[in-house]
Structure 1
Amino acid sequence: MSHQELQSNVHDPRFREAKQPQGGTSVAVADLFRLDGRTIIVTGAAGFMGTTLTEAMLESGADVVCLDVMSSPKQEEWANLEAAAKKYSRLVSYLQCDQRSDDSVNVAFDKIVSSLRYPIRGLAACAGVSDNGPATEFPSESFTRLLDINVTGTFRVAQRVAKETIKANSTASMGVDTAGYNSSKAAVHQLARSLAAEWGSRVGIPLIRVNSLSPGYIRTAATAEPLQKPGMETQWVGDNMLYRLSTADEFRAPVLFLLGDGSSFMTGSDLRVDGGHCSW
């Protein structure tokens, strides 16, 4: 995915406990993937993965706020999301946001907060870039840009999500010739663990769980061009135990799991959904 996969799962314990019957009975199995009464923020929402996950969240009962650096989403895809929101009686909105800029993130969130009907309870950070090139030739400016978008930008948004949660009392992919990209994704893993440690243990703030999702190769419009290179698809397919590429819809359930109550005792973890790539 040329996206970030940091899943900042924000849950006020009182919110979770309020849904449980007296006596401490756990949430019903049918509700473990439900996101009712929550607003989820999706960055990189104009991309294929962001669009796919947004639709899954709407179906699972969440209102969704979509953020992307593009001034507007693709008309056909946005029409499908609006139709899904109507079908499931949810709300979906879109705001332009450049996560490289503090001002852009703050302006977007100021608009978001004033229009919510449910509190922010999660972040799916799909915004990110993948600039490929041999490490010996890769421009330092491009490396810096990768880190600013994939790591610092993710932090900016996650930080603001956490702040809004407190007020209301928020994966790494593989590649070839991608030293800068892969370094940025390793940094995202550590960022997730560090935020989980800080936001899960501080006294006086709501519990904020932070996990990451590491996908395998995904067949999307973004990977169509590199897959045209001779031998590339064979290589990618052969890199994992299932001997195929994944599709974006296969990440719906893992993301909903991380955002929902089914993962209530999970934080600082990485959920690997890679077709066995890392298990050889």
Structure 2
Amino acid sequence: MTETPNADTTGAQNPGRTDASQLTAVYPEIAGKVAVVTGAARGMGAAFAAGLATRGVHVVGADINEEQMTATADEITASLAADSLTATPGRVIGARVDVTDADDHESLAQVALNEFGRIDFWINNAGIFPFALVDDISPEQIAAVLDVNVHGVLFGAQAAARHMEPGSAIVNMSSVSALRVRRGRGAYCTSKAAVAHLTESLAVELGDKGIRVNSIAPGYIDTEMTRWVREDPAALAHALDAVPLHRLGSPEEVFGPLLFLLSDSARYVTGHSISVDGGSRHV
């Protein structure tokens, strides 16, 4: 699952959750860089945009819901302005993108170039999470999930690569579902497995341009899209039993690996998928 933050599940349901300030290392070399984040109006993407801006990265947050994206960008900007600990935050602006449209990605790249003059990082975060048992997966559902979750990653990487310089980085959001089958998520699992393999192909070919491409595979993360787990005691118990650390992860715990993959500390890392799943891929 690669989904979006909402309620806190600290305490008995999510013991051991850690504050973001204790999770992320400082990578001063990323300050002043420019990032594009898709699916950034809420959830994980919004957390990524805010976290990067806190560290001095200029961010173009993009979403199909332009109104919500603009509101999110404004909220992040206001929060950074009020935070006395953030010395020189990056700017955050909102833009609209339909990730299923290749031309929209190119237009999004132009927004970043016109506003900031460069593109250093591109995070393909947008995704959908449909449910249907195998017998009930419709042509429309499989087409939609592949269009958003796979084509959206490909088109984003293509647009980014056209404008990136050597040393830039692309990060795609895969999922632990690329490695483990979940009942009722056949279309989703298929799409995320495709993202993992597409990441490897992109890494091989874009390596010729000095561009690194990696993916992150989150597991059960405390987000809006996993609300159904939190609201169903039996489902929550089953989920926590399937995680060796016996808690849900937080969006901040996904942001930490993202920050590493964008940094110079990962400058010889490409074509990899980092699982952020509390060990659930082994169960």
> TM-score, normalised on structure 2?
0.81
Instruction: Indicate the residue corresponding to 1:134 in structure 2.
Output: 133
1:17-49: CA deviations, max 9, x gaps? xxxxxxxxxxxxx76464113101100001210
Instruction: Indicate the residue corresponding to 2:269 in structure 1.
Output: 266
Q: Kindly indicate whether residue 221 of structure 2 is the aligned counterpart of residue 218 of structure 1.
A: yes
CA separation in 2, counterparts of 1:124 and 1:176? 28
Q: Kindly indicate whether residue 38 of structure 2 is the aligned counterpart of residue 61 of structure 1.
A: no
Any idea what SS the aligned residue of 1:73 has?
A: helix
Aligned residues: 250
Unpaired segments ≥5 residues, structure 1: 5-29
CA separation in 2, counterparts of 1:140 and 1:33? 47
Q: Kindly indicate whether residue 197 of structure 2 is the aligned counterpart of residue 197 of structure 1.
A: no
User: Which residue of 176, 188, 194 maps to 2:195?
Assistant: 188
Q: By how many angstroms is 1:102 displaced? A: 2.1
The structure with higher relative contact order (CA 8 Å, sep 6+) is: 1
Q: By how many angstroms is 1:226 displaced? A: 4.5
CA separation in 2, counterparts of 1:139 and 1:229? 27
Instruction: Indicate the residue corresponding to 2:105 in structure 1.
Output: 105
> TM-score, normalised on structure 1?
0.82
On the 8 A contact 2:53/2:59 being kept in 1, the answer is: yes
On the 8 A contact 2:3/2:224 being kept in 1, the answer is: no
Instruction: Indicate the residue corresponding to 1:144 in structure 2.
Output: 143
CA separation in 1, counterparts of 2:193 and 2:278? 19
Counterpart residue type for residue 95 of structure 1: A
Residues 1-280 of structure 1 correspond to what in structure 2 (within 5 A)?
Answer: 1-2=1-2, 32=27, 34-73=29-68, 77-86=72-81, 87=86, 88-117=88-117, 119-166=118-165, 170=170, 171-174=174-177, 175-200=182-207, 202=208, 205=209, 207-229=210-232, 231-280=234-283
CA separation in 2, counterparts of 1:274 and 1:104? 32
Larger mean Cα displacement after TM superposition, 58-67 or 222-231: 222-231
CA separation in 2, counterparts of 1:107 and 1:120? 13
CA separation in 1, counterparts of 2:107 and 2:255? 29
Larger mean Cα displacement after TM superposition, 53-62 or 145-154: 53-62
Q: By how many angstroms is 1:218 displaced? A: 0.9
Any idea what SS the aligned residue of 1:213 has?
A: strand
Counterpart residue type for residue 183 of structure 2: V
On the 8 A contact 1:218/1:246 being kept in 2, the answer is: yes
CA RMSD of aligned residues (A): 2.4
Cα separation, partners in 2 of 1:34 and 1:57, compared to 1, 3 Å: farther
- % identical aligned pairs: 28
Q: By how many angstroms is 1:136 displaced? A: 1.2
